Amino acid sequence: MYLLLGLIGLPVLSGSGGLAPFVGPTVGYLLSFPIAAFLIGWLSERHRSFPALVAYNVVIGLGLVYVLGSLGLQAVFGMTFIDALKVNIPFILGDSIKAVLAAAIAYKVATNPQMRRTLAS
């Protein structure tokens, strides 16, 4: 939904919207979001332990976003993949903290039957 809102022109993609973010340096990051979300969700349905959820969010989620985002940077700017990957370094700590918090929330929802019923209705 986030990407569709941006695509139709709402300024939800770093303050801009429309087609430009999807053909610029952020294209790899934007395209990686639904792929990472699907993989994390699919794996989380099968293994709901807190360590597994953290691993899915950090390793698969952030790893996939950083790799595909770096490929987008490489394609748009013509930089090496390693240089493009280095662009992510300032974001690793904050993104990791958010990924662990998301895993904690997912774990709480997955292990609390009342929360699951509330969300399902």
DSSP 47-106: ---HHHHHHIIIIIIIHHHHHHHHHHHHHHH---HHHHHHTTGGGHHHHHHHHHHHHHHH
Q: Which residue has the tokens 């609390």?
A: 112
For 64-107, the pLDDT digits (tens) are 999 999 999 999 999 999 999 999 999 999 999 999 999 999 99
Q: Are 103 and 57 in contact (CB under 8 A)?
A: yes
Domain boundaries, the chain: 19-120
For 29-53, the pLDDT digits (tens) are 999 999 999 999 999 889 889 999 9
- CA angle, residues 53, 56, 62, in degrees to nearest 5: 130
Residue 16 pLDDT more than 80?
yes
Least Cα distance to 26 among 13, 10, 41 occurs for 13
Q: Are 68 and 101 in contact (CB under 8 A)?
A: no
What is the chain's length? 121
The number of beta carbons lying within 10 Å of the beta carbon of residue 24 is 15
